[in-house]
Structures are given as structure tokens and as C-alpha cells.
Structure 1
Amino acid sequence: MPVIIDYGIHLLPIAILILLPATILITYSIAVSLKHVTPTGLPYISDTGTFSPESCIFGQLLNMIGFLIAIFVHTRYNQVKIFNKILNQRSKIYCDRLNLLSLVSGIMSALGLSLVANFQETNVIIIHVIGAYLIFGIGAFYLILQTYFTYKLHIVNSIYIKTSRVIANIIICLSFVLVILGAILAGRNPLELPAHHKWTPGSKGYRWHVISALSEWALAFAFLLYMGSFVSEFRALEWDFPQIKIRIEYEPLLYVGTLNINQPRSEPEYSNDYQNIGGDPFLANKINHVV
């Protein structure tokens, strides 16, 4: 018997939204209580999960979150694939290639989270740094592609969601640059052991460290802001295991030209010109697609 998840995929980004802040809060609290980091020194996120026992919790929960992100990336890939197949006839091949690139970059970002979780900076610093660059660098590229698909394929009609994704992209890119620049100017060499975990206001390069660490925290929560924007969008999706069947319920759109969703596929006529008209119910359509 196939297992059907009926309109519950929106719980996936919600789970990530809950688990990631909870992981950071738990490991930060333990690290401060055991004096592994100093709160006045504003540690990097990974500093709060470097030493035992908080490193065990940090690793376990980040592995789970990385797995959920990989599922999210795969689901989003299929969603974009469906929209591109049905609505985007002018640049379909180009978007398909970008969508495949986004799948690869998204999986790499999820893998980076697992690397950061399992290779602490005091143990295998090079792998830890590579994982961090995969999360934030490749992850930023992945989200830029998702913003492009949002506008190109009109997957969502809400101007607030579209705007929030653009703002999150800007914050992520700027924060990523400030994390690296601040760490360099603070005099912290990420390949030197042991890493500097206990910063104080009197430490050399303290101000630049604060800028770098604040930027990393802003970067992480901007990722969460972007992830949260998918909750309402994923409410229209459905899974049917072992086969992945994604049913997309379109929000009302005004299609200018010859686009007719209900027209037989043997004689398709499409126009790529369409726009949101804000909820006219007679234009609502539901399309089933099996991946």
C-alpha cells in the first residue's frame, strides 16, 4: 500500500525552522554554562558545538536537519520542474538546466551541514571550514536560483514572499562577505589550531571578531527567513510513496494569450505572459503531475 502524505509537506520547512534555532539555543546554553565559550565574546555558531557534551547534541541534530534540507531540496526541484514544464515554453531547457544546478548546489549545502556537524574545528579544521563554505557559499547560490525561479515561473503570487526572498538574498550575500572579511581583519586564521573560542573586549581584533560573528548569526537566521517563506507555498504539495506524486494546486492567475490549463496535452497552446489578478476563483486550476 502506498503511503500518501496529503497536503503536509509544509511541515518540512516548519520542522527545519524549529530544529535549527533549538539546536543553536541548546548547544549555546550548554557551552556557556560549562564555560567553553564566553557570551561577551559573541562566539561563532560552530564554537558552541565544538566541545563535549554539546558537540554530541550539535552533531546529531545538525545531521537530522541536513537530511531534512536534502528532502526539501529534492521536493523543490520537482516543484520547479513541473511549473517549468507546464508554463515556461520559451526558455524551458535553460530553466531545466538551472534547476538541475540548483539541485546539485542544494544537496552540496546539505552535505556541508553534515560536515560541520561531524568534523569539529578542533579536530579536523580543514573539513569543518569546507563544510562551512558549502553551507553559506553554495547555499547562498542555491537560494539566489530559487529567487530567480520564483520570479521567472511565478510559482507564488504574493509580493510579500517575493520581496522577503530578495531581502534575505541580500542579507545572506552581504553577511557572507562580512564573516570572511571580519575574521581576516580580526587576525583569526581558520587553519590554525587551537581556534580562538574565548574572545573578550580586550582581545586583539575583538571588534572585527564581533562584526564577523554577528554576520554569521545574521546569515544563519536569514537562511531561516528564506526557508520560512516556503511554508505557505508547500501547502499545495502532496506526496504519494513509493512514487513521488506532486499535486500542485494553482493559485488564481490571469493568463494573457492562449494558455488554457484544461486543454488536452495533445494540442497544447501556451503563452508565457501571465500575472496575478489577486484571487478571482473562476481561474483556479488543479494539475496533477507524477514525478
Structure 2
Amino acid sequence: MTAWIVLPVSLSAFSITGIWIVYAMAVMNHHVCPVENWYYNVTCTEEMPRPGFPKTCCTIQDIPLISKCGSFPPESCLFSLIGNVGAFMVIMVCLLRYAQVIEHSHHCLLNTSALVSGCTNAVGLVMVGNFQVDHAKSLHYVGAGVAFPAGLLFVCLQCVLTYRVAVTALDYWMAHCRVALAIAAMVSLVLSGAFFVHESFVLQHAAAICEWVFTVDILVFYGTFTYEFGSVSHDTVLAGLQHVYQQHHLHHHHLHHGSGIVLGPGARPTALGTGSKGLKSPGGSSTSTHLNCTPESIAML
């Protein structure tokens, strides 16, 4: 068992708790209406705010979309912090997962695509968190348009990868759970987009609820990597670094072909991990089987 299991749990717990605190602050500061409110007015007369109580007269501007909850200070400050810290942890999770799949001899375009989509999701989160919808609408919508589809693509790709590296019955059970989360995320995102384009107050409110479901669902999905990260070791990190080095080395060799790099007559490139380790459950907590990726072997490349 390694300390890396704390990372996915921290990402889920910190982000989910944080955005709900932002929501509570926005409701108490009369910046949005509570999610249980389904009655909206076209206009509202000036009302005396009651400290500690939500608004009683709500317009379409008060619909509790996640972005709307983080539009005004003081909750906008916390919203930006959550976006930045959450994006950093997302990138860390994606990099470790990428290296872990490589460690299990499953380097493929699918794994690279998952890494790219996860990092793209993180970039979108930074934009969403730092460009509030009421002050930089265009940049905010660009960030949301990047973050939401990229997040959905990431979870779908990870579902496929989970099946590919699965060994035990528990691994397959985890894959089934992730498929359920991915389906829920897809449905909620499609419904949110379909409802959001309508002018109906009820459908706009439904879009906000679907957006909350999608966001929490994706964050729970990231938290499930705790299952695999119990087996992350220094070998996992070295496997990722070795692969990056090999790709760079091969690219450099192709660009400078015949520049003095000579392979022996019996030498041939070998695939990472092929024949060098036995498969084990990716969710196992024991130290992974040693790979031929020690710093000495990397230096000899």
C-alpha cells in the first residue's frame, strides 16, 4: 500500500466538498436560489434581504448553475482555488494512471488519448475557475466547452483501459462500476446541454441539476483510482519516464538517422515490459513486480 491512494480520494473529497460550500455561500449571500426552488419570476421587486435565509423572489439570473454559484465574491475566491488545485490533482492522477497502464505492458494510443483528454480537462477547469461567467463570459464558456467533453472522454477511455488491464474478478467489478458512472455522466451532460438552450425556467433549473450530477459523478470517477493506486511504486513512475525517454530517443534517431548510432547485428528494440514482468491485479496493494527500468538501465539507453 502506498501513499498515492490519498491523491484520488483527496481530489474527490476536496472538490465535491468545496463546490457545495461555494453553493451554500452563494445561497446565503443571495447570489443564487436554492436547488429545491422551482418557481421563478420574470422580474422581482426590490426585497429586503434576510440574513441567513435564501432569496424568496428568484429570476432566471438566480438559477444555481455551478458557474453562477462562483461568480461573485467571496465565494468566487474559493471557486477559483478549487479550480486550480483540482486541476493540478487531475493532472497528477492522469500522469500516474498513464504510467501504471504502461507498467502493465499496455501502451497504446488509447492510453495516450486518455492522458491528453485528462490534461485537457484540467486546462478547462482552470479557465472555468478563474474566468467567472458574469465577468468573462466568452472565456468561461470556452473553458466549460473544453472541460466537460474532455472529462467525459477521459472517463470513457478509462473504462476501456480498466477492462484491458483487468486480471481478477474484483478488477472487472471495478470496470463495471466505472461503466455505470460513465453512462450516468454521459446522460446528465447531454440532458444538461439540451435543457440549457431552452428559455423555460423549469428546463434551465433542470439543466443546473444535471450539471451538478455530471460534475459530482466525474469527481467520484476520479476517486475510484484509489483502487489501483495502492500498487503504485517508484517502478511505476520509472516505467512512465522510461517510455517517454524511449519515444524521445526513437524520434531523435529518426531525425538524425545514420548520425553514429549503431545497433549490434543481434540487437533489436524491445517493447516495454514484454516478457519482463508477470501480470498482476492492477488493484493489488503489494509492490509491483520489478521492471527493467532502474535508473542504471535508463542511463545505459
Per-residue CA distance 1:75-110 (angstroms, 9 max, x = gap): 111111121x2xx5xxxxxx5222112111110101
- Give 1:69 shift: 0.6
Mapping for residues 81-120 of structure 1, pairs under 5 Å: 81-83=102-104, 85=105, 88=106, 96-120=108-132
Runs of 4+ that moved beyond 4 A:
none
- Structure 2 Cα separation of the partners of residues 7 and 15 of structure 1: 14
Residue 188 of structure 2 corresponds to 175
Q: For residues 21 and 28 of structure 2, what CA distance do their matches in structure 1 show?
A: 11
Determine if contact 1:112/1:135 at 8 Å carries over to the other structure.
yes
Is residue 138 from structure 1 mapped to residue 150 from structure 2 by the alignment? yes
Note if 1:69 corresponds to 2:69: no
Letter in 1 for 2:185: I
Q: Does the CA-based 8 Å contact 1:23-1:62 persist in structure 2?
A: no
The one-letter amino acid of 1:24's match is: I
Alignment of 1:153-172 (within 5 A): 153-154=165-166, 157-158=169-170, 159-172=172-185
CA offsets, 1:241-289, max 9 Å, x none? xx93469xxxxxxxxxxxxxxxxx9xx669x9x998xx9xxxx973346
What amino acid does structure 2 have at the position aligned with 1:82?
E
* Residue aligning to 1:226: 221
- Residues 20-54 of structure 1: CA distance to partner in whole angstroms, max 9, x if unpaired? 11211221121111101111255111111100111
Give unpaired runs (5+ residues) of structure 1: 1-5, 89-94, 188-204, 248-264
Q: Does 1:16 align with 2:11?
A: yes
Give the TM-score of the pair, scaled to structure 2.
Answer: 0.69
**Larger % of helix: which?**
2
1:25 corresponding residue in structure 2: 20
Which residue of the partner structure matches residue 215 of structure 1?
A: 210
Task: Give the Cα separation in 1 of the matches to 2:129 and 2:144.
Answer: 10
Q: CA deviation at 1:18?
A: 1.3
- Aligned-residue CA RMSD in angstroms? 3.0
**What TM-score, normalized by structure 1, do the two folds share?**
0.71
Structure index of larger Rg: 2
Say yes or no: does 1:121 pair with 2:139. no
Q: Deviations over 1:216-265 (max 9, x none)?
A: 1110121122122211211111248xx93469xxxxxxxxxxxxxxxxx9
Cα offsets for 1:111-169 (capped at 9, x unmatched)? 11110000000111111112112221111111111111111222664233111100011
Report SS of the residue matched to 1:9: helix
Residue 190 of structure 1 aligns with which residue?
none
CA–CA distance in structure 1, aligned partners of residues 112 and 9 of structure 2:
25
